[in-house]
Amino acid sequence: MTQPDSADVRVGVRTRSLAQSRLQYIRQLGATDIFVDHADVEEEPDEFNDRIGTDTLEVGRDAIPTVEELDAAKQRVEDAGLTLRGIQSLPYSLYGDIMFDREGKEEALEQITTLVRNLGEADIPILGYQWNPRGVVPMRTSPVEIRGEALGTAFDYDELEDPDALAPGLDREYTEEEFWENYHEFVETVLPVAEEADVTLALHPVDPPVFESLGGIPRLCCNVANFEKAMSLVESDHHGLKFCLGCFSQMGEDVHEVLRRFAERDQLIFIHFRDVVGTVPKFHETFVDEGNFDTVEVVRTLYDIGYDGVVIPDHVPKMVGDDDWRHRARGFTVGYLRGVIDTVDSEQ
């Protein structure tokens, strides 16, 4: 097999903390790229903010990092021998009002476009986001024991107490048409700014991709057809996928076929590399060397399609002795992926 000229598969890491010790550890693992997991003061507990202090980026409602703050974060990452590739995701506090067409959506849109402009000025090229009603629908149910009694997160629809009940905080059901209209307004407003700023938006699947509605809330990004629709609402070369292999595996999709499908459109921005056992409505996450798909074959597909970008360990199991960031499991995953990538690269 001949390697396409543009193929360059790199291993990155998502992290909230930008403390020198965290960045040093990541560099020691051999990762090259950083995506910042924002610290949202409305979503994170006080003890988290106290623990990592100022060694992060606060992103949330009324908390948009300035160009100077982004420059400082970028410099901190570069001083550790790494590249700050982007912000992992928008917090729900920023997009929730837009999603539900509530009072405050105009202010939220203004703050998001300000963030995009600031990223552009700081030469940070990617902003990940999702259209997931976090905080109102459970992402996971009870965890399960996997290899060696490590813990993997899980979802089992049958464990939901009352799946037909409205999600907490809602007083009515929402239609899929309403949610598409609200999403259309979002991309119609933000993408022109992203193009001007030379920042690429990367959309993540809804997680879990369970059915088309849950708790009275449509789950738009729950299948391949809806992703194609999302990408077509406003045509832009600054819009693509934060391609979560785990989510598409949860959907029961052939991840090789879906990778090729969006690679043809040049819409693979970066990749969350994880897998699960099972599919919706019941699955659990596991180590990267286990699961529904063959990791080696997926990396071969990335080379075959000429993927030029970063793969990131996403959710990782909790291993014995892990800290809250699960540094041991994350270190195992980075090392495993680097080994597979080096092996596949040597075959080209």
- Residue 113's CATH number: 3.20.20.150
Please indicate, yes or no, if residue 3 is contained in any of the structural domains.
no
Query: Domain range holding 316?
Result: 8-347
Please indicate, yes or no, if residue 2 is contained in any of the structural domains.
no
Q: Tell me the per-residue pLDDT of 106-131, one tens digit each, with 9 for 90 and over.
A: 999 999 999 999 999 999 999 999 99
Please indicate, yes or no, if residue 196 is contained in any of the structural domains.
yes
Please indicate, yes or no, if residue 1 is contained in any of the structural domains.
no
CA distances from 201 to 238, 269, 285, 312, 326 (A): 6, 8, 26, 17, 27
DSSP sequence for 38-84:
-B-TTTS-HHHHHHHTTSS-B-BTTBPPPHHHHHHHHHHHHHTT-EE
Two structure tokens written together for 301: 């597909």
Residues of the chain with pLDDT under 70: 1-6, 39-54, 135-137
pLDDT of residue 39: 64
pLDDT of residue 137: 62
Positive or negative, the CA dihedral 322, 323, 329, 335 is negative
CA distance 84 to 166: 40
Please indicate, yes or no, if residue 30 is contained in any of the structural domains.
yes
Please indicate, yes or no, if residue 160 is contained in any of the structural domains.
yes
Q: Tell me the per-residue pLDDT of 40-97, one tens digit each, with 9 for 90 and over.
A: 545 444 444 444 455 889 899 999 999 999 999 999 999 999 999 999 999 999 999 9
Please indicate, yes or no, if residue 144 is contained in any of the structural domains.
yes
pLDDT of residue 281: 92
CA distance 220 to 210: 10
The two counts, helices (H) then strands (E), for the chain are 11, 15
Domain count for the chain: 1
In Å, how far from its chain's centre is CA 301?
20
pLDDT of residue 167: 86
CA distance 69 to 172: 40
Please indicate, yes or no, if residue 182 is contained in any of the structural domains.
yes
